[in-house]
């Protein structure tokens, strides 16, 4: 993949600065090598090769719900439904990528613009890394790198590469952060007609959400193994990290003032240096005329975010430029999605009212642990070589007191209602 446009120069972490500076450095090295005239044949093979490409989606989404927003990720300010019946913000994005190859060395810079939690489309760096091909089978990278967790890890933002409008929210929403700053090593090997790629990665991420709220994950470490054999491809992945975010901080700070029971609740649910573990497995079978995809995953956060199991299955059949498809997705929670919270008995009237409000706040947060099923159907039309138009209908239902994957739910939101979603998207690459 390759992507995007000009953007303002913001202060970047060291890992990103290294990736960006590598582009200029490698270009300078390439010019210097070419200027020497030594070993002309070898130098010609190592001459700098630049590639620019991009992708985007123009989308519009309608949702029947009026007390919540349907969104493709929780990292959005709004969506379709409560904020506006029809929304262009759910799926619309624009991205660009610049690749540089120089013999065994290569670098990539990817920049993308999509709505963030503050409602702006401020461009951000998605990838910025340098790669060294140590041997034909072993590659090393450093910088900002895509987290290799799902089948579509490298292309989850590129709508053109998939049949449906968006990756199933129930599964891919479990890891809304798609890249980290660090390093990885990939070893490719084969056994008969089967090709393998084993990837080990380590890094961290620090993402601004809104105002002073951030989400930080450090010590991200994991393994990913991909398999390809004919029309079949599969991936197994596992990662662990320590997560910190200020979400719910005001509730837990106030709870600690209620003594040991409040401290215990805060320690249990506050997202402060909490270990997160995740495992996923998926496969795709695509012989050409038809295709079938399925993925499943399990996430344990040891915090307010809970423990969930996710899955989806989908397939379609190609009739020339038209591809109708069907899909089913589900996410369910393990453990508490409600908690009685602070004991009210024996508290003075004013303290009892405060404790009751804190308990309500805690359960609003616990209600964000997704429990939901979705049935989807749609049609993709490849109207040009690099463009596809898609229409999709989703019928989703959050249950058991959960808001599912919906966002911007008020205290009056009631779980269990069916939500109808209609989407249109024009995907393109260049």
Segments making up each domain of the chain, as ranges: 14-37+49-59+81-303+336-364
Do residues 143 and 130 touch, judged by C-beta distance below 8 A?
yes
Domain 14-37+49-59+81-303+336-364 has CATH 2.40.160: yes
Q: Quick check: 9 pLDDT over 50?
A: no
| Structure confidence by residue, pLDDT tens digits, 172-194 | 998 999 999 999 999 999 989 99
CA–CA distance, 327 with 163 (Å, rounded to integer): 11
Mean pLDDT of 217-229: 97
Tell me the Cα Rg of the chain: 23
Task: List, for residues 284-294, the tens digit of each pLDDT value.
Answer: 999 999 999 99
In tens, the pLDDT along 64-116 reads 999 999 999 999 999 999 999 999 999 999 999 999 999 999 999 999 999 99
Rounded Cα distance between 48 and 69, Å, is 47
pLDDT at 307 over 60: yes
Residue whose token pair is 């895509």: 146
Please write the tens of the pLDDT for every residue from 104-156. Answer: 999 999 999 999 999 999 999 999 999 999 999 999 999 999 999 999 999 99
CA nearest to 369, candidates 397, 401, 342, 330: 401
Q: What pLDDT, on the 0 to 100 scale, is given for residue 41?
A: 47
Task: Provide the strand spans (E) within 83-150.
Answer: 86-87, 93-102, 105-114, 124-133, 138-146
The whole-number average pLDDT for the span 253-261 is: 95
pLDDT value for 35: 41
pTM of the model: 0.86
Q: Which of 314, 318, 278, 284 is nearest to 297 (CA)?
A: 278
Chain centre distance of CA 424: 21
Q: What sign has the CA pseudo-torsion 351, 357, 360, 361?
A: negative
Binned at pLDDT 50, 70 and 90, residue 28 comes out as very low
pLDDT digits (tens, 9 = 90+) for 350-378: 999 999 999 999 999 999 999 999 999 99
Q: How many CB atoms lie within 10 A of CB 240?
A: 14
Q: Which residues make beta-bridge pairs with 114? A: 93
pLDDT value at position 45? Answer: 56
> What per-residue string of b and e applies to 258-267 under the rule 16 or more CB within 10 Å gives b?
beeebeebbe
């Amino acid at each position: 993949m390759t992507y995007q446009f000009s953007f303002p120069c913001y202060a970047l972490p060291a890992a990103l600065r290294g990736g960006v500076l590598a582009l200029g450095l490698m270009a300078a090295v390439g010019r210097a090598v070419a200027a020497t005239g030594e070993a002309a044949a070898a130098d010609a093979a190592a001459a700098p090769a630049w590639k620019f490409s991009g992708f985007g989606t123009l989308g519009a989404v309608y949702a029947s719900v009026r007390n919540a927003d349907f969104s493709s990720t929780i990292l959005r300010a709004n969506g379709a439904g409560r904020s506006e019946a029809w929304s262009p913000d759910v799926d619309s994005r624009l991205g660009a990528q610049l690749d540089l190859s120089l013999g065994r060395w290569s670098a990539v810079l990817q920049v993308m613009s999509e709505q963030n939690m503050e409602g702006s489309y401020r461009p951000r760096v998605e990838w910025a890394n340098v790669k060294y091909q140590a041997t034909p089978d072993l590659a090393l990278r450093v910088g900002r790198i895509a987290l290799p967790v799902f089948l579509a890890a490298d292309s989850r933002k590129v709508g053109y590469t998939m049949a449906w409008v968006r990756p199933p929210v129930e599964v891919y929403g479990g890891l809304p952060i798609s890249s980290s700053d660090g390093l990885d090593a990939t070893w490719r090997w084969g056994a008969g007609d089967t090709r393998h790629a084993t990837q080990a990665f380590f890094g961290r991420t620090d993402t601004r959400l809104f105002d002073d709220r951030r989400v930080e994950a450090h010590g991200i470490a994991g393994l990913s193994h991909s398999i390809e054999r004919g029309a079949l491809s599969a991936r197994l992945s596992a990662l662990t990290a320590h997560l910190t975010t200020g979400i719910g901080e005001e509730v837990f700070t106030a709870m600690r003032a209620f003594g040991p029971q409040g401290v215990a609740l805060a320690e249990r649910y506050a997202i402060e240096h909490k270990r997160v573990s995740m495992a996923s497995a998926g496969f795709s079978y695509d012989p050409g005329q038809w295709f079938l995809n399925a993925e499943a995953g399990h996430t344990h956060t040891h915090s307010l975010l809970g423990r969930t199991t996710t899955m989806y299955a989908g397939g379609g059949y190609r009739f020339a430029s038209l591809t109708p498809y069907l899909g089913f997705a589900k996410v369910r929670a393990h453990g508490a999605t409600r908690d009685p919270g602070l004991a009210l008995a024996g508290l003075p009237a004013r303290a009892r009212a405060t404790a009751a409000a804190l308990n309500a706040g805690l359960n609003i947060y616990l209600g964000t642990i997704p429990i939901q099923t979705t049935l989807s159907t749609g049609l993709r039309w490849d109207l040009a070589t690099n463009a596809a138009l898609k229409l999709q209908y989703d019928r989703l239902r959050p249950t058991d007191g959960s808001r599912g994957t919906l966002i911007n739910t008020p205290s009056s939101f009631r779980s269990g209602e069916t939500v109808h979603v209609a989407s249109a998207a024009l995907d393109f690459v260049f």
